Amino acid sequence: MTTIATQFGIKAALAQLGIQDINEGTSTGTQSFATGAILESYSPVDGQLIAKVKTTSAADYEKVMQAAIEAFQSFRLIPAPQRGEMVRQFGEKLRQNKEALGKLVSYEMGKSLQEGYGEVQEMIDICDFAVGLSRQLHGLTMHSERPNHRMYEQYHPLGVVGIISAFNFPVAVWSWNAALALVCGDVCIWKPSEKTPLCGIACQNILSEVLKENNLPEGISCLINGDYKLGELLTSDSRIPLISATGSTRMGKIVAQTVAGRLGKSLLELGGNNAIIVTPDADIKMTVIGAVFGAVGTAGQRCTSTRRLIIHESVYDKVKTALVAAYQQLRIGNPLDQNNHVGPLIDTDAVEKYNKALEKAVIEGGKILVEGAVLSGSGYESGCYVQPAIVEAENSFEIVQQETFAPILYLLKYTGTVENAIAIQNSVAQGLSSAIMTTNLREAELFLSTAGSDCGIANVNIGTSGAEIGGAFGGEKETGGGRESGSDAWKVYMRRQTNTINYGSTLPLAQGIKFDL
- The single residue of 269, 403, 478, 484 carrying the catalytic annotation is 269
pLDDT for 30 equals 63
What's the number of domains the chain is made of?
Answer: 2
Q: How far apart are CA 295 and CA 195, in angstroms?
A: 22
| pLDDT < 50: residue spans in the chain | none
Q: How far apart are CA 430 and CA 503, in angstroms?
A: 51
Whether residues 95 and 82 share a domain: the answer is: yes
Whether residues 138 and 80 share a domain: the answer is: yes
Mind giving me the DSSP string for 417-435?
-HHHHHHHHHTSSEESEEE
pLDDT for 31 equals 72
CATH number assigned to the domain comprising residue 23: 3.40.605.10
- Is residue 105 within 8 A of residue 195, CB to CB? The reply is no
Which residues 6+ apart lie within 8 Å of 242 measured at CB? 158, 159, 161, 162, 186, 264, 265, 266, 267, 492, 493
Residue 115 lies in a domain: yes
Residue 503 lies in a domain: no
pLDDT for 49 equals 94
What is the pTM for the complete model shown?
0.96
pLDDT for 21 equals 62
Q: How far apart are CA 424 and CA 410, in angstroms?
A: 13
Helix ranges (DSSP H) in 214-283: 228-236, 249-261
Whether residues 195 and 294 share a domain: the answer is: no
Whether residues 176 and 135 share a domain: the answer is: yes
Q: How far apart are CA 201 and CA 253, in angstroms?
A: 28
With CA atoms as reference, report the closest residue to 296 among 229, 257, 344. 344
Has 269 been annotated as catalytic? yes
Whether residues 335 and 465 share a domain: the answer is: yes
Structural domain that includes position 305 = 274-471
Whether residues 323 and 460 share a domain: the answer is: yes
Residue 516 lies in a domain: no
Q: How far apart are CA 24 and CA 192, in angstroms?
A: 13
Residue 501 lies in a domain: no
Whether residues 322 and 431 share a domain: the answer is: yes
Q: How far apart are CA 316 and CA 24, in angstroms?
A: 53
- Is residue 305 within 8 A of residue 342, CB to CB? The reply is no
With CA atoms as reference, report the closest residue to 130 among 81, 74, 189. 81
Residue 361 lies in a domain: yes
Output the CA torsion 120→121→122→126 (10° steps). Answer: 110
Residue 502 lies in a domain: no
How long is the chain? 517
pLDDT for 159 equals 98
Residue 504 lies in a domain: no
Q: How far apart are CA 284 and CA 272, in angstroms?
A: 24
Q: How far apart are CA 490 and CA 73, in angstroms?
A: 20
Whether residues 260 and 292 share a domain: the answer is: no
Whether residues 47 and 138 share a domain: the answer is: yes
